[in-house]
Amino acid sequence: MAYDEGLAQRIRDYFQGRTDVVEKKMFGGLCFMVHDHMCCGLLGNDLMARIGPDHYEEHLALPHAKPMEFTGRPMKGILTVEAEGLAEDADLFAWIDRCVAFVDTLPPKAPKKSRKSRTSARSDDAFAGLSAPARRALANAGINTLKDLSRYSQAEILKLHGMGPSSIPKLEKALRDGGFSFQ
């Protein structure tokens, strides 16, 4: 779904000079993130206003506000403000003020782990260097530890669905490092 570029520019003007605001394409429209939290956005010509659950009913009663039903069910804490209610900057900015006031009450988001740190968190796993299909093949066969693996021959392991020949040297090394070997 496209969004109203003129309305997007007016929102950018509102946030001008702030370094904690990021634009993201989401929900088929454009969202404005404040402190890494979704604050408001555009869907077509309408404003998506995140005002929180505490003031939801109060703000829903305002002119041109309606429930946000992106998934077919109302999203508690988020309203849609029809374009007719955003014609004047004062009206648009009042809605954005409400959104920012809510987002400012939210706790800071925890920093996201990088892909490298997520992988290193599993480094104690003897099978961490294997491909996902090879790991699934072992798990489906009930092979969860090096001791379990040492009960099998290389030929038996290669017969497992999803296990490729490139996995054998990695498994041999893991077994060797753990004081085991193939049968």
CA angle 45, 36, 22 (to 5 degrees): 50
If 0-12 CB within 10 Å is exposed, 13-18 middle and 19+ buried, where does residue 36 land?
A: middle
Q: What is the pLDDT of residue 63?
A: 95
Q: How many CA atoms lie within 13 Å of 141's alpha carbon, on the beta-carbon side? A: 20
The amino acid sitting at 92 is: L
Task: Report which of 54, 103, 107, 97 is spatially closest to residue 76, judged by C-alpha positions.
Answer: 54
pLDDT at position 163 is: 87
Count the helices and strands in the chain (H runs, E runs): 8, 6
CA distance 128 to 182: 18
pTM beyond 0.85? no
- Mean pLDDT for back-to-back runs of 10 residues, the chain (183 residues): 89 94 89 95 94 94 92 88 96 97 92 59 66 88 90 92 88 89 90
